Homo-oligomer: A and B are copies of this chain.
């Protein structure tokens, strides 16, 4: 018996769906969530795949997730749509908003989607890719919980606050990046702790505000933003846009009401979608996308470079036939959750 279990992508989807529906989560919520977990495993984005299922389930079990939540769409302005996720998981809320946001971006040239009261625990690239695959330029950001010190400070305040961006490419998946405003993912520090490794300098401060390479001290202290005060400014921007701008909470407010069940808390996300062809006087979309490709050629002409998301797209070619592997311990947990 190896310490790993191999699953097909269909099994990933079916297992996820079964776990949640067996606990009374609506088919619609479970289906949208299974789509996201499936996509993460397909792309070898392990940090947001089946690994997250126990966390999602914690929010179901503790009752903070609304199992039957039906996201409510409303129009706030010609260019601004709002989804109230009703304390359901983010995937169904995002799925509900996707087509209306795309339509609005094409009509108005630019449009925003405010998602509020959403239990957000997923990779942001997923939704940005969906928009960019429809020919749109997309930008999204989401708050988290109090983990990251502000510039000059030593105590956690900002979330890891990922921001993702997508650009459409002709005849291939879009260029997408998705990056935390922190120097490292929080999960990376946890993995170092689990494995008994020290963390690189520049990731975190201990509880007294001293630089630390000890993952346990780091988790009790504050994470650092990437790139010093400039990364902190990005984190601050995300707080304002995905918090006060859309009438949702800041990361420190998420932490203040956290029930410590380990699962996602309700928070806000904002997406901006732009139809790039509507930003041209010529309207020549083909020439525009070809122009983008010339930049990518210049990047790739330099040795040692790659485009963001290329590793995910490479994995995507393999996993439909190879399947994916997860630790047996995780598989055991999932089997138990499925019941």
The residues of B that contact A167 with a CB separation of less than 8 Å are: 240
Q: A173: shortest Cβ distance to chain B, in Å?
A: 16
Contact A233 B150 (CB under 8 A): no
Contact with B along A202-235 (1 / 0, CB 8 A): 0000000000000000000000001110110110
Contact with B along A299-312 (1 / 0, CB 8 A): 10011111010000
Q: Which of B80, B289, B295, B306 contacts A250 (CB 8 A)?
A: B295
Contact residues on A (Cβ < 8 Å of other chain), bracket: 35 or more
Of the listed stretches A38-46, A48-56, A107-115, chain B binds A107-115
Contact B110 A299 (CB under 8 A): no
**In this assembly, does A5 line the interface, its C-beta being within 8 Å of a C-beta of chain B?**
no
**In this assembly, does A151 line the interface, its C-beta being within 8 Å of a C-beta of chain B?**
yes
Contact A305 B114 (CB under 8 A): no
Q: Which of B79, B239, B245, B298 contacts A276 (CB 8 A)?
A: B245
Instruction: Give the complex CA separation of A241 and B175 in angstroms.
Output: 13
User: What residue in chain B is nearest A302 (Cβ atoms)?
Assistant: B153
**In this assembly, does A237 line the interface, its C-beta being within 8 Å of a C-beta of chain B?**
yes
Most buried by B among A150, A179, A246: A150
**In this assembly, does A323 line the interface, its C-beta being within 8 Å of a C-beta of chain B?**
no
Main secondary structure of the interface of A (DSSP, over half): mixed
Contact B111 A279 (CB under 8 A): no
Instruction: Give the complex CA separation of A74 and B283 in angstroms.
Output: 14
**In this assembly, does A145 line the interface, its C-beta being within 8 Å of a C-beta of chain B?**
no
Instruction: Give the complex CA separation of A179 and B177 in angstroms.
Output: 20
**In this assembly, does A288 line the interface, its C-beta being within 8 Å of a C-beta of chain B?**
yes
Q: Which of B76, B108, B291, B299 contacts A77 (CB 8 A)?
A: B108
Contact A152 B302 (CB under 8 A): yes
**In this assembly, does A272 line the interface, its C-beta being within 8 Å of a C-beta of chain B?**
yes
Contact A153 B244 (CB under 8 A): no
**In this assembly, does A280 line the interface, its C-beta being within 8 Å of a C-beta of chain B?**
yes
Instruction: Give the complex CA separation of A250 and B290 in angstroms.
Output: 13
Q: A253: shortest Cβ distance to chain B, in Å?
A: 8
Contact with B along A117-155 (1 / 0, CB 8 A): 000000000000000000001010000000001111111
The residues of B that contact A252 with a CB separation of less than 8 Å are: 295, 298
Contact B82 A281 (CB under 8 A): yes
**In this assembly, does A294 line the interface, its C-beta being within 8 Å of a C-beta of chain B?**
yes
Contact B281 A239 (CB under 8 A): no
**In this assembly, does A292 line the interface, its C-beta being within 8 Å of a C-beta of chain B?**
yes
The residues of B that contact A240 with a CB separation of less than 8 Å are: 137, 167, 175, 292, 295
Instruction: Give the complex CA separation of A230 and B299 in angstroms.
Output: 15
Instruction: Give the complex CA separation of A305 and B225 in angstroms.
Output: 14
Q: Contacts A233-B165, A250-B294; is A272 near B272 (CB within 8 Å)?
A: yes
Contact B152 A305 (CB under 8 A): yes
9 A-B interface contacts by CB (under 8 A): A77-B108, A77-B278, A108-B108, A151-B305, A157-B298, A167-B240, A244-B292, A247-B279, A250-B294
